[in-house]
A and B are shown apart, each in its own frame.
Chain A
Amino acid sequence: MDITLQRVGYTYAAGTPFQKQALHDVDVRIPDGSYTAVIGHTGSGKSTLLQHLNALLKPTEGTVRVGDTVITKETKGKQLRSVRRKVGIVFQFPEHQLFEETVLKDVMFGPLNFGIPEAEAAARAEELLGLLGLPEGTAEKSPFDLSGGQMRRVAIAGVLAMDPDVLVLDEPTAGLDPSGRREIMDLFHRLHEERDMTTILVTHSMEDAARYADHVIVMHDGTDVLEGPPEDVFGDAGRLARWRLEVPRTVAFQREFERGAGLPEGPPCLTEEQLADYLAGAVKKGGGAR
């Protein structure tokens, strides 16, 4: 399901002394089946943009197209529910949305709201709890008895249980320990590939964007300034610095290495694996010169 934003603008509290323009002239296209990363410094409009993707905010200017639903400022509430069913959002610190008596019930909340029969919702929930690596027996516990990391996984399961076509992730690993972080990000990537789920990741981590995404959107001061494959976006450190962003650490290291070794700048290495291959190649080639 393609998502297209055309000349989208959003102003908070329009017409009051507190009015604030958060987005203007946003033109982006998120292709069906892509893994899109949205990057930008704090206050660049990433979070506002993300709330437009399932109509939690309606644009005050322009149009948002999700599949064949068109959302403008006039769109009424009823039409929005079908969009919300197709687009699942994992918000920052999603564990704050837990409320049910048991983990199982909480995960079933979304599917039941969208009219999925109880037995099926329960089966889905059980399956997802396993998939997210929660220990046996968690389903019957109260979500408030779990550890922070486990709560996070339960909340993520609650969004995945709606089986959305598009999954929007807002800093899904903020505050998790490094191994948990990697595990969850790998899981999202697997789901993206196995279920052909269009994935949109809003993140501060250039490393995550470089590793997982195949399409990157750069936001700056409330509008999109660059859109393209990660090789393009992360190749040029000078350009990213203008938007107060940095290249991923692998690329920073690579550039440092190239400068030291007197090599020309090659295509950016987006993951540790690529960087290792690149270095091994360079060592083999230049081995004789030493």
Chain B
Amino acid sequence: MMEKMVFGRYIPGDSFVHRLDPRTKLIFVFIFIAAVFLANSTASYALLLGFTLFAIIVSKVRIGFLIGGLKPVIFLIAFTFLLHIFFTKQGDLLFEFGFIKVYEEGLRQGIYISVRFLVLVLMTSLLTLTTSPISITDGLEVLLGPLKKIRFPVHELALMMSISLRFIPTLMDETDKILKAQLARGSDISSGTMKERVKAVVPLLVPLFVSAFKRAEDLAVAMEVRGYRGGEGRTRYRQLKWDWRDTTALLILLLLIAGLWLLRR
């Protein structure tokens, strides 16, 4: 029943993108997001779109999977597109249909914004699809490292993140199991009035919370018996390594930014 969840899903692989250091990917996506706003001409948007497609091809992620992940934002994209079509009244009048007047500039801006959205969503999905949650956390911990200077609990934050990520699938399985057990006892979540449905969630949530607390306690004990004392002086099992791929990726990003700059109007 929980099979369809796409959120934060990672697809293991062995492509150029998969093998990049998580730090590179995080920096890359971060700068890319900012760079998207440089584009302001048809040529520059075409470059962005082309570059994104190139990245997808290099990552070898099945395009169908990415499109599946787009579904939740499709509405948002369509909505902003229509807003621009209807409310931007500059340039030549393209066509008129009753009270609806579509201007050249409106159409252009609509397409620009849609492409911008699309590119942003695709790139960030690509990040989570090709990087395991654990590596993302590792990368973040390193990148946020400087904040330790101002006593920001970077290690603890990263630990919390990796524990939550680690337990998402476990809790999903647990939910599935309890849901099935209650379905077998005749509980019915998918029909009835709103009130009945809300009531039907209780038999699901109570056991879930009970087991989550139990699990948290077990985990705390297990960490303590193994002498966990926080991040100070702790060595790492997964070492992050910077290699030629990472340098290449960042050079490509620089080229992209230069290209966008040149193609600006």
Which A residues contact B (CB, under 8 angstroms)? 12-13, 16-18, 51, 54, 56, 77-78, 81, 84-85, 88-89, 91, 94, 96-100, 109-110, 113-114, 144, 158-159, 162
Q: Which of B65, B174, B180, B187 contacts A91 (CB 8 A)?
A: B180
Q: Is the CB of A159 within 8 A of B184?
A: yes
A99 touches B207 (CB 8 A): yes
Determine the residue in chain A with the shortest Cβ distance to B62: A17
Does B67 count as interface, using CB distance less than 8 angstroms? no
Question: Is B178 a contact partner of A96 (Cβ separation < 8 A)?
Answer: yes
Given contacts A99-B202, A99-B203, contact A85 B181 (CB under 8 A): no
Q: Nearest chain-A residue to B2 (Cβ)?
A: A13
A144 contact set on B, CB distance < 8 A: 210
Q: Which residues of B contact A (CB under 8 A)?
A: 3, 11, 62, 65, 174, 177-178, 180-188, 190-191, 202-203, 206-207, 210-211
Report the nearest A residue to B210, measured CB to CB. Answer: A144
Contacts of B180 in A (CB 8 A): 51, 56, 91
Cβ–Cβ < 8 Å partners of A98 in chain B: 207
Bound: A12/B3 CA distance, A: 8
Chain A residues in 8 Å Cβ range of B177: 91, 96
Contact A17 B186 (CB under 8 A): no
Across the interface, which residues of B come within 8 angstroms of A54, CB to CB? 184
Q: List 13 A-B contacts (CB under 8 A).
A: A17-B65, A18-B3, A88-B184, A91-B177, A98-B207, A99-B203, A99-B206, A109-B187, A109-B203, A110-B186, A113-B186, A144-B210, A158-B185
Residue with the greatest number of chain B CB neighbours at <10 A, chosen from A17, A89, A97, A110: A97
Residue in B11, B65, B178 whose beta carbon sits within 8 Å of that of A97 in the complex: B178
Q: Knowing that A17-B62, A89-B184 are A-B contacts, what are 7 other residue pairs whose CB atoms are under 8 Å apart, sorted by A's residue number? A: A54-B184, A56-B184, A96-B174, A97-B181, A99-B206, A113-B186, A114-B186
Complex: A89 Cα to B65 Cα, angstroms: 36
Cβ distance A101 to chain B, nearest Cβ, rounded Å: 10
- CB-CB nearest in chain B for A144: B210
A208 vs B141: C-alpha distance in the bound complex, in angstroms?
52
The docked-state distance in angstroms from the alpha carbon of A110 to that of B182 is 8
Contact A91 B185 (CB under 8 A): no
Q: Which chain B positions have C-beta within 8 A of A77?
A: 190-191
Contacts of B203 in A (CB 8 A): 97, 99-100, 109
Q: What residues on B are CB-neighbors of A13 within 8 Å? A: 3
Residues of B within 8 A of A85 (CB): 186
When chains A and B are docked, how far (Å) is the Cα of A114 from the Cα of B181?
15
CB of A162 within 8 A of CB of B186, answer yes
Shortest Cβ-Cβ A-B pairs, 4 listed? A113-B186, A99-B206, A97-B181, A110-B185
Tell me, rounded to whole Å, the shortest Cβ–Cβ distance linking A157 to chain B.
11
A17, A18, A77 pick with most chain B CB within 10 angstroms: A17
CB pair A113 B181 closer than 8 Å: no
A16 and B186 contact, CB distance less than 8 A: no
Q: Which residue of A lies closest to B176 (CB)?
A: A56
B181 and A81 contact, CB distance less than 8 A? no
- Chain B residues with Cβ below 8 Å from A56 are 180, 183-184
For residue B206, which residues in chain A have a CB less than 8 angstroms away from its CB? 99
CA distance A51 to B176 in the complex (A): 12
B230 to chain A, nearest CB (A): 32
CB neighbours (8 Å) of A109 from chain B are 185, 187, 203
Shortest beta-carbon distance from A128 to chain B in Å: 14
Taking the closest CB of chain A, its distance from the CB of B218, in whole angstroms, is 14
- Chain B proximity of A254: nearest CB distance (Å): 39
Q: Which residue of A lies closest to B183 (CB)?
A: A56
Residues of A within 8 A of B190 (CB): 77
**Which residues from chain B contact A99 at a C-beta distance below 8 Å?**
202-203, 206-207
B183 pairs with A97, CB closer than 8 A: no
Tell me which of A16, A51, A89 has the highest count of chain B C-beta atoms within 10 A of its own C-beta.
Answer: A16
User: Which residues of chain B come closer than 8 Å to A96, judged between CB atoms?
Assistant: 174, 177-178, 181, 207, 210-211
Minimum distance in angstroms from A172 CB to a CB of chain B: 13
B191 / chain A contacts, CB cutoff of 8 Å: 77-78
Of the candidates B62, B185, B202, B203, the one having the most CB atoms from chain A within 10 angstroms of its own CB is: B185
| A97 with B185, Cβ < 8 A, contacts A17-B65, A91-B177 known | yes
A144 to B178, CA, bound (A): 16
